Amino acid sequence: MPPTYSVQPAGKDHIDTLLEIENACFDSDRLTRRNFQWMLSKGNASVFIAHSKQSPEPVAYLIILFHKGTSLARIYSMAVAAKHRRRGIGRQLMQAADEEAKKYNCAYTRLEVRKDNVGAINFYDALNYQPFEIWPHYYEDDTDALRFEKRVPIEAPLNAQRVPFFRQSTEFTCGPSALMMGMAALNPKYHPSPEEELQIWREATTIFMTSGHGGCGPRGLALAAHARGFSPEIYLSREGVLFLDGVRSETKKQVIRRVHEDFKKRIRHAKIPTHRKPLSIQALRNTLEKGGLALILISSYRLYGEKSPHWVIVTGITRDFVFFHDPSVDEKAHESDTDRMNIPIRSDDFSKMAQFGRHQLKASVVLNPR
User: Which architecture, in CATH terms, is 5-153?
Assistant: 3-Layer(aba) Sandwich (3.40)
**Closest by CA position to 324, among listed 289, 288, 290:** 288
Q: Where are the domains of the chain?
A: 5-153, 159-368
The pLDDT of residue 318 is above 90: no
User: What's the mean pLDDT when you consider all of the chain?
Assistant: 87
pLDDT band at 207 (very low <50, low <70, confident <90, very high): low
Q: What is the pLDDT of residues 336-365, one digit of tens each?
A: 888 888 888 888 889 888 988 777 889 999
**Closest by CA position to 109, among listed 135, 86, 76, 139:** 76
Average pLDDT over residues 191-206: 92
Q: Where are the beta strands (DSSP E) in the chain?
A: 5-9, 45-52, 58-66, 72-80, 108-114, 130-135, 145-151, 158-159, 231-236, 274-275, 293-299, 309-317, 321-325, 343-346, 363-368
Kindly report the pTM of this predicted structure. 0.72
Q: How far apart are the first and last CA of the chain?
A: 65
Tell me the C-alpha distance between 293 and 163, whole Å.
Answer: 9
Tell me the C-alpha distance between 328 and 38, whole Å.
Answer: 20
The pLDDT of residue 293 is above 90: yes
Contact 60, 81 (CB under 8 A): yes
Q: Three-class SS string for 220-288?
A: HHHHHHHHCCCEEEEEECCCCCCCCCCCCCHHHHHHHHHHHHHHHHHHHHHCCCEECCCCCHHHHHHHH
pLDDT band at 180 (very low <50, low <70, confident <90, very high): very high
Average pLDDT over residues 118-142: 88
pLDDT band at 184 (very low <50, low <70, confident <90, very high): very high
Q: Are strands 45-52 and 130-135 parallel, antiparallel or unpaired?
A: unpaired
The pLDDT of residue 69 is above 70: yes
The pLDDT of residue 201 is above 90: yes
pLDDT of residue 1: 44
Contact 146, 162 (CB under 8 A): no
CATH of domain 159-368: 3.90.70.10
State what percent of residues in the chain have pLDDT above 70. 92
Phi, psi (5° rounding) for residue 182? -65, -45
Q: What is the pLDDT of residues 99-126, one digit of tens each?
A: 898 888 888 899 999 999 999 999 999 9
pLDDT of residue 161: 55
Contact 258, 331 (CB under 8 A): no
Across 48-62, 167-181, 208-222, which has the greatest mean pLDDT? 167-181
pLDDT of residue 241: 79
pLDDT of residue 54: 78
The pLDDT of residue 213 is above 60: no
Q: Are strands 108-114 and 72-80 parallel, antiparallel or unpaired?
A: parallel
